[in-house]
Amino acid sequence: MSEVSEVTKKLPSFLGIGAMRSGTTWLDNILRSHPDIYLPERRKEIHFFDLYYDKGINWYQDFFPTEEQRQNYQQIGEITPAYLYLPEIPSRIKDSIPNCRFLVILRNPVDRAYSHYGFWVKNSAEKRAFEDLLEQEPEIIGKGMYYQQFERYLQHFPRESFLVLIFEEITQNPLPALEQLSKFLAVDSHKFDLSTTSQKKNASASVLFPQARALACKFRDFLRNNDIDWLWNLAKSSGVNQIFETTGKPLPPLNREIRAKLIDRYSSDVSNLEKLLDIDFSLWKY
């Protein structure tokens, strides 16, 4: 990408890259509450480095402040949780933002997988059992293989470029995570809006009309593919998306036998991850 050197300074200084279903909505909310941090207003997850890479770096640049506007912020960022998983992403980021820093929240991969299933149920008109979906959609398990994902990133970026937070610690007490964020991003921790930490979590609510919801998601993707975000944002602000949701029953607890199998499947990856990142994940009880 020949134009990268001319526009790198107009791109994000940091990226939130995942993991999916691990608290990145909380991260987005708390970062947006800080007056010295900018996240794109037009689109929450831009997906440039995976879905829209062929649109070119100038397309990506348009989501961020101009050089003059950047003087109002200490940090410019973007959060797309899919970036952690896909193998082609680290080299693409290195080519575009060679000094990028990364925010990552990791969740017990077993719980992450089951939450991913709940998200799939919410957004699909199909009905499948969790164990069936694991066989048919291997990426649900793959997205919890964090060691493999970090190993790829560390081939391109130094370990100190990553702030790794643990989802379960944030849910217990978010304040230490805010201190880590402020130190890593070099911003004033007192400027975070702490009320954001008590907002509703991104739960896998039930869907009243699953087929209509699935069509709405396709319509959203069509608008984004054609850069008509304003129309989708207008629909969201009017509360249209809430028509499809209901406060129905949450997912039942994960079957113990399935949980045990998944723990066994993830065990070596978690062990290797602890050594790679020098972080204790005993909270996950592996």
Over residues 235-270, the pLDDT tens digits come to: 666 666 665 555 556 789 999 999 999 999 999 999
The model's pLDDT over 83-140, given as tens digits with 9 standing for 90+, comes to 999 999 999 999 999 999 999 999 999 999 999 999 888 777 678 899 999 999 999 9
Q: Distance (Å, rounded) from C-alpha 248 to C-alpha 225? A: 32
Average pLDDT, integer, range 162-188: 97
Predicted TM-score of the model (pTM):
0.87
> Quick check: is 223 in a domain?
no
> Quick check: is 99 in a domain?
yes
Within 10 angstroms of residue 84's Cβ, the number of other Cβ atoms is: 26
> Quick check: is 100 in a domain?
yes
The DSSP code for 119 is H
> Quick check: is 232 in a domain?
no
**Domain count along the chain:** 1
Find the domain containing 34 and state its range.
9-109+145-201+280-284
The model's pLDDT over 176-228, given as tens digits with 9 standing for 90+, comes to 999 999 999 999 999 999 887 664 555 554 555 566 566 666 666 666 677 76
> Quick check: is 254 in a domain?
no
Token reading at 189: 């921790």
Token reading at 190: 């007192």
Q: Distance (Å, rounded) from C-alpha 155 to C-alpha 113? A: 26
Cβ neighbors of 184 (< 8 A, separation 6 or more) are 101, 103, 163
Kindly tell me if the per-residue pLDDT of 232 is higher than 90.
no
> Quick check: is 219 in a domain?
no
pLDDT of residue 2: 44
CATH number at residue 165: 3.40.50.300
> Quick check: is 59 in a domain?
yes
> Quick check: is 265 in a domain?
no
| Angstrom distances, CA of residue 100 to CA of 4, 29, 92 | 14, 21, 11
Kindly tell me if the per-residue pLDDT of 149 is higher than 70.
yes
